[in-house]
Structure 1
Amino acid sequence: MRFHRPRPRWAAAAAAAVLSLAAVLSSQTGAAAQADPEDGGADCAVAPGRPASTALLPDPFTRLDGTRITRTSEWRCRRAEIRELAETAVYGQKPPKPGSVTGTVSRTGITVNVSHQGRSASFTASVDLPGGTGPFPAVVVLGGTGADTATIKSSGAAVINLDPYAIGREGTPRSNKQGAFYTLYGSSSSTGLLMAWSWGVSRVIDVIEQSGGGVLRADATGVTGCSRFGKGAFVAGAFDECVDLTMPIESGTGGVPAFRSAARESGAQPLSSAYSEQPWLGDAFGSYTGNPAALPVDTHQIVAMVAPRGLFIMENPHVDWLGATSGSVAARGGAEVYRALGAGQNISYWSDVQDGTHCASRSEWSGPLRQHIQRFLLGSGSAPGVFRVSPRESGDLSAWRTWQTPTLTDDGTGGGDNGGGDNGGGDPVGACAADFTAVNTWSGGYQGEVEVRNTSGGALNGWTVTMDLASGQSIASLWNGRHTTGGGTVTVTNTPWNGALAADGTATFGFTATGSAAAPTGIGCSSP
Structure 2
Amino acid sequence: MSVTTLSAPAGAVGGPGAAAQLAPGVEDDGADCAVPDPGLSPANSMLPDPFTKLNGTRITAKSDWRCRRAEIKKLAEKYVYGEKRRKPESVTGTVSRTSITVNVRDQGRTSSFSAKVELPSGSGPFPAVIVYGGFGADTATIKASGAAVISYDPFAVGREGTPRNNKQGAYYSVYGSSSSTGLLMAWAWGVSRIIDVIEQSDGSILKADATGVTGCSRYGKGAFVAGAFDQRIALTMPIESGSGGVGAFRSIARESGAQPLSSAYSEQPWLGDAFNSFTGNPNSLPVDTHEIVGMVAPRGLFIMDNPHIDWLGARSGAVAALGGAEVYKALGAGSNITYWSDVQDGNHCAVRSEWRTPLQQHIRKFLLKTGSDPGVFRISSKKPGNLSEWRNWQTPTLS
Return the TM-score normalized by structure 2.
Answer: 0.95
Check whether the contact 2:17–2:365 (CA below 8 A) recurs between aligned residues: no
- Paired position in structure 2 for 1:45: 34
The separation in 2 between residues aligned to 1:357 and 1:384, in whole angstroms, is 28
Q: Deviations over 1:172-198 (max 9, x none)?
A: 000000000000000000000000000
Q: Which amino acid in 2 is paired with 1:40?
A: D
Secondary structure of 2:269's partner? coil
The separation in 2 between residues aligned to 1:254 and 1:394, in whole angstroms, is 19
- Paired position in structure 1 for 2:19: 11
The separation in 2 between residues aligned to 1:12 and 1:336, in whole angstroms, is 22
Check whether the contact 2:99–2:115 (CA below 8 A) recurs between aligned residues: yes
- Paired position in structure 1 for 2:55: 65
Check whether the contact 2:38–2:75 (CA below 8 A) recurs between aligned residues: no
- Paired position in structure 2 for 1:487: none
- Paired position in structure 2 for 1:86: 76
- Counterpart pick for 2:345 among 355, 377, 380: 355
Check whether the contact 1:344–1:385 (CA below 8 A) recurs between aligned residues: yes
Q: Which amino acid in 2 is paired with 1:46?
A: V
- Paired position in structure 2 for 1:262: 252
The separation in 2 between residues aligned to 1:266 and 1:66, in whole angstroms, is 34
- Bigger relative contact order, structure 1 or 2 (CA pairs below 8 A, ≥6 apart): 2
Check whether the contact 1:368–1:384 (CA below 8 A) recurs between aligned residues: no
Shift of 1:47: 1.7
Check whether the contact 1:142–1:233 (CA below 8 A) recurs between aligned residues: yes
Return structure 1 stretches of 4+ with deviation > 4 angstroms: 12-15
Residue 138 in 1 paired to residue 128 in 2?
A: yes
The separation in 1 between residues aligned to 2:176 and 2:17, in whole angstroms, is 40
The separation in 2 between residues aligned to 1:248 and 1:11, in whole angstroms, is 19
- Counterpart pick for 2:176 among 186, 203, 207: 186
- Paired position in structure 2 for 1:5: none
The separation in 2 between residues aligned to 1:172 and 1:164, in whole angstroms, is 14
- Structure 1 residues 263-282: aligned runs within 5 Å: 263-282=253-272
Shift of 1:384: 2.9
Q: Percent identity?
A: 74
Shift of 1:381: 1.4
Check whether the contact 1:14–1:343 (CA below 8 A) recurs between aligned residues: no
| Aligned-pair Cα RMSD in Å | 1.2
Shift of 1:117: 1.3
Q: Which amino acid in 2 is paired with 1:307?
A: A
Check whether the contact 1:135–1:217 (CA below 8 A) recurs between aligned residues: yes
Runs (5+) with no aligned partner, structure 1: 1-7, 20-35, 410-528
- Counterpart pick for 2:308 among 313, 318, 321: 318
- Paired position in structure 1 for 2:9: none
The separation in 2 between residues aligned to 1:218 and 1:48, in whole angstroms, is 33
Q: Deviations over 1:104-141 (max 9, x none)?
A: 00000000000111100010000000000000000000
Secondary structure of 2:345's partner? coil
Q: Which amino acid in 2 is paired with 1:386?
A: V
Check whether the contact 1:372–1:384 (CA below 8 A) recurs between aligned residues: no
Shift of 1:212: 1.2
Check whether the contact 1:136–1:157 (CA below 8 A) recurs between aligned residues: yes
Shift of 1:263: 0.4
Q: Deviations over 1:247-279 (max 9, x none)?
A: 000000000000000000000000000000000
Check whether the contact 2:120–2:144 (CA below 8 A) recurs between aligned residues: yes
Check whether the contact 1:168–1:182 (CA below 8 A) recurs between aligned residues: yes
The separation in 1 between residues aligned to 2:341 and 2:299, in whole angstroms, is 20
The separation in 1 between residues aligned to 2:20 and 2:371, in whole angstroms, is 15
Check whether the contact 2:19–2:365 (CA below 8 A) recurs between aligned residues: no
The separation in 2 between residues aligned to 1:288 and 1:266, in whole angstroms, is 19
Shift of 1:9: 4.6
Return the TM-score normalized by structure 1.
Answer: 0.72
Residue 196 in 1 paired to residue 186 in 2?
A: yes
Check whether the contact 2:265–2:271 (CA below 8 A) recurs between aligned residues: yes
- Counterpart pick for 1:167 among 157, 169, 187: 157
Residue 235 in 1 paired to residue 225 in 2?
A: yes
- Paired position in structure 1 for 2:113: 123
Shift of 1:14: 4.6
Aligned length: 383
The separation in 2 between residues aligned to 1:52 and 1:377, in whole angstroms, is 41
The separation in 2 between residues aligned to 1:327 and 1:320, in whole angstroms, is 12
- Counterpart pick for 1:391 among 376, 381, 384: 381
Q: Deviations over 1:20-56 (max 9, x none)?
A: xxxxxxxxxxxxxxxx810000000002344332011
- Structure 1 residues 407-446: aligned runs within 5 Å: 407-409=397-399
- Structure 1 residues 366-515: aligned runs within 5 Å: 366-409=356-399
The separation in 2 between residues aligned to 1:171 and 1:383, in whole angstroms, is 41
The separation in 2 between residues aligned to 1:198 and 1:47, in whole angstroms, is 24
Secondary structure of 1:224's partner? strand
The separation in 1 between residues aligned to 2:43 and 2:67, in whole angstroms, is 22
Q: Which amino acid in 1 is paired with 2:18?
A: W
Task: Decide which structure has greater strand share.
Answer: 1
The separation in 2 between residues aligned to 1:356 and 1:266, in whole angstroms, is 18
Q: Which amino acid in 1 is paired with 2:208?
A: A
Q: Which amino acid in 1 is paired with 2:395?
A: T
Check whether the contact 1:9–1:379 (CA below 8 A) recurs between aligned residues: yes
Secondary structure of 2:129's partner? strand
The separation in 1 between residues aligned to 2:106 and 2:68, in whole angstroms, is 30
Shift of 1:12: 4.9
